[in-house]
A and B are shown apart, each in its own frame.
Chain A
Amino acid sequence: MSRIARLSIIFASALFVGAPVATAQAKDKVKVGFIGPLTGGVSANGLGGRNSADLAVKLRNAHAKTKYEYELVVLDDECKPNVAVQVATKMAADKEIVAAATHYCSATAIATVDVYHKFGFPIIVWGAVLPDITYRAKYAEVHRVNGTMINQNDANAELISKIGFKNVAVIHDTTDYGKGHNEYFSKAFAKLGGKIVGTFGVTADQQDFTAELTQIKALNPEVIYFGGLTPIGVRIRSQMDKLGIKAVFDGTSGIVSDAFIQGLGPLAEGSLAFREGAPTEKLPGGKFFMENYAAQKYDNPPEAYGAFSFAAMDLILDSIEKVGPDRKKVIQELANVKERDSIVGKVTFDDHGQNTVAVITKYVVQDGKFVEWDDSEYATGKRKLPGQK
């Protein structure tokens, strides 16, 4: 083959590969954003949140009366603060994006609030529970539809002592999520007269908990409180079983996911967990949400915070419909949100942008499902948790 022929073949193939350049559209569009962990250990929650936000946008676009056509821009924060700052900058600096529902991981949310403030970019946090995200500074741009971990742990401590447990050992991961949970739970439980017999910090990627659990076994607590996310929760619960520890496994919102039950099978039975908001099925718009979600045939379930993501996105779209695609006006509009109906119940933002109507749902795993405590056979006394009187 001659040199010229070779050259032309190469260029032809290069053109072929480079050719599919999308053509510009003439339609008027408004962009809204979503940020969550789409890859990594907690990606199940991120994908569920993404799908739910996507659903909110799709349903809105399907409405005949909407003023704008919305387009969802999705970015992945990998649950890492440095990546989160990068993607937050990308989204906030893009003037076409008006507002966004952002972050499942507390570490990423707390790292990025300054970025949003700097760019004047209105966001609604849809999953992160660290109180500091809304309460460390008073940023008009930052809002949150879900409750904080303070409410969660008050409800948790109350239930535990109501059942009659007095001695609790705490295992928490050493991220801000786990540390915060430890702090607020220990406070709440001590107030109710309970005793924390031991506190153990573990790293979020630890595999083996024999050392901690052997010590806990010697302390003989009635309950092991766990502040952390599903992956290590599954490991700790199964290693408890191996070591013959009979204590009740008492988790936080971090383990409310289908992955927890899938990972443990029958061992999950009797685990406690707490989450803000009513369970999705019981929400005012829960049925509507679940039906529409199923109709879209997404690959992943909405997970625990899907409904919040949907509500956050819906709130953003409502505001844009009302005041137009202008960041400053959207911020003003969001500040006025009071007693607003949403699929997670009424939403009222306080002066820090925090939703104050925080309903906490108590869960217990019964027959491979997270069942609301009050409806469960454990509450009626039909079944008993280990050590329950």
Chain B
Amino acid sequence: MSEVMQKMRAPLLPGVVALALSTAYLIALLAAEKQALIIGLLAFAVVAVLAAHYLGWLNLVSRSFADQEDVLGIYAILAACVVAAFFHDNHFVLLLFVTVLLYTVATLGLNIQFGYAGVLNFAGASFFGIGAYTSAVLSTYTAVPHLLVLLIGGMLAALIGSLLLVPVLRTRGHYAALVTIAFALLLKTFLEVNNVLGGPQGMQVKGMSILGWSFNDNFEIGKIEMSFYLNYFVVSMLLLTGTFVLVRRLERSWIGLNLDALRLDEIAASCFGLDIARWKITAFLLGNFLIGIAGALFGMVGGFVAPNNYTFADSLIMVSILLLGGIGNPWGLVVATFIVVVVPEKLQTIQEYRILLFALIVIMMLLFRPEGLLPRPVRRYFPGWRA
């Protein structure tokens, strides 16, 4: 039996090649400074991906990823480390990279809500902000260990999110979305008028330090000076790996099955004896918890929190990452986060037109691939199983 399964598995090679190519491309894009080169690289990526799709190579890659996910996951971590090592003394690129990692964690949280349970949440940035403000307040006024601060940030986001439980459970569809939008606006106004939390001017956040190791100082390995953001990269990478595994396991488990049933048809699910409220609450709180942790760490990375960082528009950016990547597919989210965070930044060279161009790109994507870049595949009940 196991031999048969082994034979049916797709080869590892296409996945590894795809990873290696995208790593090389990412390094080239992040290192590129000249306007013509950046635009050329971006156009090249579009053409290359279309070509690969046209020739059927993308299919090979996705099959390879589907069957050999664990191995390729480890390669992906290695690839991220290679990129980080390449830019070891470049503060800005590492900051950008850490931003991508933490936004991925946050959208993974959002993914549990949107993608699995079908609970709409248009206040992602608000929960992100709750996490960030938690780390600002705790690191300014108390001596709570910083790793614990991350946890508390997540728990606080879940706790404050639980205020929304009753309205979210009692409303459906558009109305549930409205509840979360109202919450996003309320939270921003609350932060602005609250002088203890710095008011509109915001608060400074101290950098992370664990056991006397200050994350905000540059350090040296051998004779090579490393950027202090490398510290944050390690923590963010650990956080992302943990979250990714958690979300993947959750999806495959019976919990994920319950959540899927809930999303597809609430009434049918409840006829089969599923407790709708229970699973909605689980998904909503767990999602907010993850977003809160990411936010708490991001607050420390950025060193500054202000209400303007966590507006409704920022929540929409998170949702657009989710839509772009393909709702329900964690790998898609990773790709989409890179696009949404890195591309507008790289387009700085065209100044006031960049947001316009970026919006055009997103609209084109949604027009020609409305299911997202990497749509969620059919549920696989065990590895090697094919629908």
Contact = CB atoms under 8 A, between A and B. Distances in A.
B306 A111 contact: yes
B352 A176 contact: no
A161 interface: no
A18 B44 contact: yes
Given A74-B351, A82-B309, A110-B202, A21 B40 contact: yes
Helix, strand, loop or mixed for chain B's interface? helix
Contacts of B51: 10-11, 14
Interface residues of B, number: 41
Given A18-B43, A19-B40, A93 B92 contact: yes
Contact of B192 (A85, A87, A174): A174
A20 interface: yes
Interface string B35-47: 1110011011001
B47 A81 contact: no
Nearest to B345: A86
A94 B43 contact: no
B50 to A, nearest CB: 8
Contact of A22 (B36, B90, B99, B352): B36
A17 B352 contact: no
Contact of B200 (A18, A50, A114, A179): A179
A295 interface: no
B201 A90 contact: no
B54 A107 contact: no
A80 interface: yes
Interface string A96-117: 0000000000110011101100
Given A85-B304, A93-B92, A203-B189, A20 B202 contact: no
A110 B99 CA distance: 21
A83 to B, nearest CB: 9
A47 interface: yes
A43 interface: yes
Given A7-B55, A85-B302, A85-B303, A110 B351 contact: no
A75 interface: yes
B34 interface: yes
A4 to B, nearest CB: 11
A176 B44 CA distance: 44
Contacts of A43: 352
Interface in B291-338: 302-304, 306, 308-309
B113 interface: no
B9 interface: no
B270 interface: no
Interface string A57-100: 00000000000000000111000111001110110011000000
A39 B355 contact: yes
A107 B201 contact: yes
A123 to B, nearest CB: 16
A6 B57 CA distance: 14
Contacts of B351: 38, 50, 74, 76
A176 B309 contact: no
A270 B92 CA distance: 48
A207 to B, nearest CB: 13
A175 interface: yes
Interface string A140-184: 000000000000000000000000000000000011101100000
Contacts of B303: 85, 114-115
Given A75-B348, A86-B96, A90-B92, 9 more contacts: A6-B54, A17-B43, A47-B352, A81-B309, A93-B92, A119-B91, A174-B193, A174-B200, A203-B192
19 contacts: A6-B55, A7-B55, A10-B51, A14-B51, A17-B40, A18-B44, A21-B40, A47-B352, A82-B306, A85-B302, A86-B99, A86-B345, A114-B204, A119-B91, A132-B201, A174-B193, A176-B199, A179-B200, A179-B201
Interface of A: 3, 6-7, 10-11, 13-14, 17-22, 38-39, 43, 47, 50, 74-76, 80-82, 85-87, 89-90, 93-94, 106-107, 110-112, 114-115, 118-119, 130, 132, 174-176, 178-179, 201, 203
